[in-house]
Structure formats: C-alpha cells, structure tokens
Structure 1
Amino acid sequence: MIKTLRGLAHKYFSDEEAVILFLLLLFGTGFIILFGAMLAPAIAAVIVAFILQGLVTKLNHLGVPELVSIIGVFLIFLGVLIAFLFGLLPLIWGQVTSLAGEAPRIFREMQSYLELLPQQYPALISMEGVNTIYTQVTTEAGRMTQWLVSFSLASIPDLVALLIYMVLLPILVFFFLKDRRALLASIGKLLPPQRPMMVRIWNEVNLQCANYVRGKAVEILIVGGVTYVSFKFLGVPYAALLSLMVGLSVVIPYIGAAVVTIPVAMIALFAFGWGSQFIWVMAIYGIIQALDGNVLVPLLFSEVNNLHPVVIIVAVLFFGGIWGLWGVFFAIPLATMLKAVFSAWPVNDQRLSAPAERA
C-alpha cells in the first residue's frame, strides 16, 4: 500500500509546481464552498467578465482601442441586463403566475387523460396507480402555488439582496474588464516566479473553458430565441417561459432536453389536445433539438474536448449535490475545467523512461 502511494506521488507530484497547484486547487475549492454564497456577486461578475472578454479581444484585433472596446462591450452587457430585468423577467413572471392560476384546470384535464389509461391498457396500468400519481402531482402543484402566492411577502429580504446584487454586478464586471491585467498580475505575484507548468495548464483551461462558456452563452440565446419565435408563431401559450426553459436546458446536455420536453408536451397537449396542432408543436420542437445537437453544437464547440455522457451525468450529480441548482448549472464548465487540468498535468512515467535510461 505504501509502495503504491509512493509510486502515485512520484508519478503525479514529482514536480514542485504540481504540488503547489494541487494545494491551490484544494484551497480554492474549500474557499468557494465556505464563502461562495457570500461572494456570489463577485463570482458571477468574474464569469460574466470572462465571457465578455472574448468580445473585447476580438474588437482589439479589429483595431478598436482597448478602453473603447471595454466601454462598448460593457454598454451592450448593461443594455441586455436592463432588457432582461424590465422586459423579459416581468413577462416570464406574469406567465408563471398565470400558469399557477390555471393549474387546477390543467390537473382536471390531466386526470381525465389518466383515467382513460387503465381502460385502454388494463394489463399495464391500474386505477390505484393512476390515483397515486395524480395525488402526488397535485400535492406538489399545491405547494408550488402556495409558494407563488406567499412569495411577495416571505421573500422581501431576498428581493432586497437581489437588488443589491443587480447594482454590484455591473460595477464589478466593469472593473474586472478594465483592470484585468492588473488583477492577474497581482495574483501572479503570489505564485512562484518560474511556473511553466502552471502557465501551460492555465492556457489549456483558459482555451477550453472560454470556448465552452462563450459557446454556451451563444447557444442559449439562439436556441431560446428560435424556440420563442416558433412557439409564438404556432400560438403556444406561455411561449416566453417555455423558450427560457428550453434555452437554459442546453446547459445540461441530454438531461436538460429530456426534462424540458415534459412541460412543453404537457402545455401543448392541454392547449391544443390530441390533434394536428399538437403534432406540429412537438415536430418543430424536435427539429430545434436536432439542429441544436447536430449543427449548432459542432459549429460552436469545434475546439472544445467533448465530455463523455457518463462524465456529464456524474458531474451533474456530484456538483448538484454540493451546490444545489448552481452546481447543476455550472457542472459542465467545472467538469471541462477539470478535464483540461488533467490533460495538461505533468506525469512522470517511469515505464517510459526506463528503456531510454537502459539504452
């Protein structure tokens, strides 16, 4: 056992930089776990600035001065944030409350559909099972409706904190963009002066994560926008809410699309019934998902190392268990970062060096 551990330590931690980097990763992970909720605006601002930095760099390559590029990109971000807060967010919240008000009618229709299943498939489905499913669904829906009704009174402190975050976020994003080099230089002073391995790993992580995060931001906008236009054209109710859910579902490959398909199908079914309109809605939704997976994803992520589906599911379960919803949302970027670190990690393989030494 001791010999095995010594061999692993010699293989992966023979370089002094590897030991320092490993300790930094442990310290950073512990720091985020302990103080992540407190520093949520700063962490969100770092992620947003990281996404926007790619556009600043492209403008610099086109000959635009850096300060002008930063101000222009920041104004675009500020306009998108204001449009979301005062345009899209009230629309979505209105549709959520409207959907909660129509929940009793939807569940009555769902009960009528479920009661037909035991008659059509008596060998597979029983009336007791249908009643159990209906009771569980209605109970959860009742809790959700009660939460929506009491939201305005019970969550006033959360709303105040959200308003503070909305003020702090643009300020932090601007300074992270403007003083990026100075901040990185200050962090670099805390590291060893000679750090070729850290620079190589940083370049790999920066390339993979930057391409992934920026590509996902573009994918969310495209998929969500196309879904909204399509559902609005087809007359699907709650088009804004459904398009937001479909857009955000691309953050979690495989799992997100499977989960979002259920509310899309349910709302289309209750709005149009079993007919041609329902088939059109589901066909258009399937075409959007197919184009996203087979055209848009290869186009946006051609330079990113794809993760295996098993790795994606494990990452979602692991980080979701640690950080809840935010862990699910950032599971794939974190897994991509870890894969980039492991790919660039120095390995001292004695089996490869032994033949060369004997020669």
Structure 2
Amino acid sequence: MGQADRPFVTLVYSVALALMAGYLLVIGKQILVPILFAIILCYILLESARGIGRVPGLTRSPTWLRHIFTLLAFAMVLTLLTSITTENAQALAQRVPEYEMRLNVFINDVSERLNLQEQPSWTALRNMMGTDINLGQITSRMLGVLASFGTNMFLVLLLAAFLMLESAGLSAKVTRAFETREQSDAIINIFHQINAQIGQYLAAKTAINLCLGFISWVIMALIGVDFAMFWAVVIGLLNYIPYVGSLMGVLFPTLLSVVQFGDMATTVTTAITLTLAQMLMGNIVEPRLLGRLVNLSPFVVLVSLVVWGSLWGIPGAFLAVPMTSIVTLILAGFPATRWISVLLSSEGKI
C-alpha cells in the first residue's frame, strides 16, 4: 500500500467504524439506554452526596451513609413523582370528552368572531386535515409511556446503586488493568474530569429543573390550569432536553388552557408567564450556575440532539448533552484525538 493511499484508507475505516457503531447503538437500544441512564443518575447521586459532605456539620459523615441517604431520597422522590404523574394522567384521560366539548365551543366562538358562514367542529377539522387525531387514544398512550418510564426508572436506580458501590474501587482496577503507570494515570485523569464536569453539570441542571418546575406549578396553580402539578413535573423533565424541551414544556399546558378555558386571554397569559419562567431560568440562572461545565458549541449541542434523538428517540434526546460531553472529554484525553475535542468545544479551549 502506497503512502498516498493511507489517508483514504483511514477515512474508509473511520466511516465504516462509525456506521457499525451507529447500527449497534440502534439494535442495542433496549440494553444500552437503561445502562446509560444509570451512569448519568450515578453522576447525579455521587455529586449530591459530595454536596451533602460540604454542608457544615456533615463534613465528617461517612461516605457510605451519604450514598445511602441520596439513594433513599431519590427513591422517595421518584415514587412521589410517579404517583403524581400516574394519578393526574388517569384523571386527564377521564376528562378528555369534556375537553373535546369545550374545544368545539372554542372553535365555534373563534368562527363567529371571524364571521365564518359555516361553523367548523373538532371532528370536521380532523377530517379536513386528513388525520384521525383521537385525544383519548393519545392520552392512553401517554399513560402507557408513563407506566413504562416509572418501571424503567426503578431499574435504572438499582443499576445506579451498584455503580455507586463499584465507583470506590475503580481507580485501583484501572491501575491493575494497564501495564504502565502513564497509561493508567491518563485513564484515571479522564475519569476524574468526567466525574467532576458531568457530575456538577447534572446536579446543577437537576436543581435548576426542580426550581423551574416549582415556579411553573405556582404560575399554573394561580391561573387555574388543570393538573398543574403534573404539567410542572413534565416541564421539569423536558428541560433536560436542550432547546426543544423548553418549547414543548410551554406548549403542552398552553394547549390544555385552550380546551379548558376557551378564552384566548387566559391562554396568552399562560403562554407568556410560562415562557418568562423559562427565560428566567435559561438565560439568567443557568449561565450563572452551569458556566463552562458543558464546553460544547451550540451547533454541536443541536447536532447531538438530532443524532441521539434519531438513534434512540426521546431517551436519546435526554442523553444527548451528557453523552456528547463525555465523548468530548474522552477525545481530549488523548493527543491523537484532542483536535476533535477542540472543534466540538464552545470557544476552542479544553
């Protein structure tokens, strides 16, 4: 093989490797997604446990005790959120016929204001769009998704608990796994960087999402939006998804306000106040708390959202930022791939 052919061969091998990796990610979704969520959750729990250790009076508390406390606390919160979302989703499914009636009244009111000769209905609009949009079926599917999500999260929590137990001896295992001290130190350094950066990011992001969910709940409760607690939980979860999540978080309760109140002024008020809450957290609070914890350019974040979302759907959208950040830190740890990490970063600094 000639010297001139080597770059071309390397490119072909790289493309083939990327295609194979993408194929394996798609077919291994059912296995890989819970494991990766467990890794992400482990980062959140470990950073929360370290945060508890920095609280005055708890600095000398045993590490194992803090780990158990964070696990139990998360299990309690997960149980509470699962109960809230399931109960509210079931109540929402029961009220779907009432919402469809109110939606017809709202459509008729709008048509009267526009002086339309023939007043349309929800059924007529569905037929005109050529789609069979059934609110009852959509709600039933949502219930199934929530039930599956709750079950999978308890599996993720179990996996995360074992990962926390394994984390203490990880450095010793890496040292024994490699022949030279330089190799093991390089790998351990990468692990430390990932633990510090991703752990702090996820812990801060979780705190921000909890605050956003609480603020959104207060806003919707004051306006009188049905199932305010349920939508607050949804908003907090969707905010893990960059860009798209905040938009969807405002869209869902705003659409509900249309069929609930049938009043454009209330709908606009709901949309504006929820958007202001999103802007407050996203443009003021997040930059101050997160800072340079996620050193990714906005374009890379958007591309990662598209790629991981295409591979794994909604779970991929949740994992897009932390997974891409982990990949970037791994690439930065080796001289041969450091240039890729620099290109993916926000300011070209690693």
Q: Which residue of 2 aligns with 1:141?
A: 135
- Residue 347 of structure 2: aligned partner: none
- 1:222–1:312: structure 2 CA closer, same or farther, 3 Å change rule? same
* Equivalent residue in structure 1 for 2:238, among 206, 229, 249: 249
Determine which of 45, 51, 68 is the counterpart of 2:44: 51
Displacement of 1:2: 6.6
Provide the rounded CA distance (Å) in 1 between the counterparts of 2:115 and 2:242: 33
Q: How many residues align?
A: 325
Taking structure 1 as the reference length, what is the TM-score of the superposition?
0.72
Post-superposition shift, 1:117? 5.7
Correspondence for 2:96:
103
Q: CA deviation at 1:230?
A: 2.7
Indicate if the aligned counterparts of 1:316 and 1:327 stay in contact, CA closer than 8 A: yes
1:332 is the counterpart of 2:332? no
Residues 25-53 of structure 1 show CA distances to partners (whole Å, capped at 9, x for unaligned) of 99998876665534665544333222121
Structure 1 pair 146–4 and aligned structure 2 pair: CA distance change class (3 A) = same
Q: Provide the C-alpha distance between the structure 2 equivalents of 1:145 and 1:226, rounded to a whole number of angstroms.
A: 25
- Corresponding residue number in structure 2 for 1:190: 177
Q: Distance in 1 between matches of 2:313 and 2:265?
A: 39
Structure 1 CA distance for aligned equivalents of residues 122 and 221 of structure 2: 39
Q: Is the 8 A contact 1:52 1:73 kept in 2?
A: yes
Measured in 2, the distance between the counterparts of 1:90 and 1:243 equals 14
After TM superposition, list the pairs within 5 Å mapping 1:63-78 onto structure 2.
Answer: 64-65=59-60, 68-78=62-72
Higher relative contact order (CA 8 A, sep 6+): 1
Work out whether residues 238 and 245 of structure 2, in 8 Å CA contact, stay in contact via their aligned partners in 1.
yes
Question: Which residue identity does 1:300 align to in structure 2?
Answer: L
Q: What letter is aligned with 1:291?
A: L
* Aligned-residue identity in percent: 18
Cα offset, 1:243, TM superposition: 0.6
Moved over 6 A (4+): 7-10, 25-32, 126-130
Q: In structure 2, which of residues 244, 261, 264 is the aligned counterpart of residue 272 of structure 1?
A: 261
Secondary structure of the equivalent of 1:336? Answer: helix
**Mind listing any 5+ residue stretches in structure 2 that lack a counterpart?**
339-350
Q: Deviations for 1:206-241, whole angstroms, at most 9, x for unmatched residues?
A: 343223222222122111122123322332211112
Map 1:287-298 → 2, pairs under 5 A: 287-298=276-287
Seen in structure 2, the aligned counterparts of structure 1 residues 91 and 348 have a Cα distance that, compared at 3 Å, is closer
Asked if structure 1 preserves the Cα contact closer than 8 Å seen for 2:38 and 2:160, the reply is yes
Provide the C-alpha distance between the structure 1 equivalents of 2:322 and 2:336, rounded to a whole number of angstroms.
24
Range with greater deviation from structure 2 (126-135 or 76-85): 126-135
SS in 2 for 1:284: helix
Deviation at 1:179, TM superposition (A): 4.0
When the two chains are superposed, the root-mean-square deviation of aligned CA atoms in Å is 4.3
Match for residue 180 of structure 1 among 147, 158, 167: 167
Write the distance in 1 (CA, Å) between the matches of 2:243 and 2:135.
25
Distance in 2, matches of 1:170 and 1:127, equals: 46
Task: Indicate yes or no: 2:226 matched with 1:231.
Answer: no
CA distance in 2, matches of 1:316, 1:50: 20
- Paired position in structure 2 for 1:3: 4
User: How far, CA to CA, are the matches of 2:300 and 2:237 in structure 1?
Assistant: 20
2:258/2:267 contact within 8 Å kept: yes
Extract unaligned runs of 5+ from structure 1.
11-18, 350-359
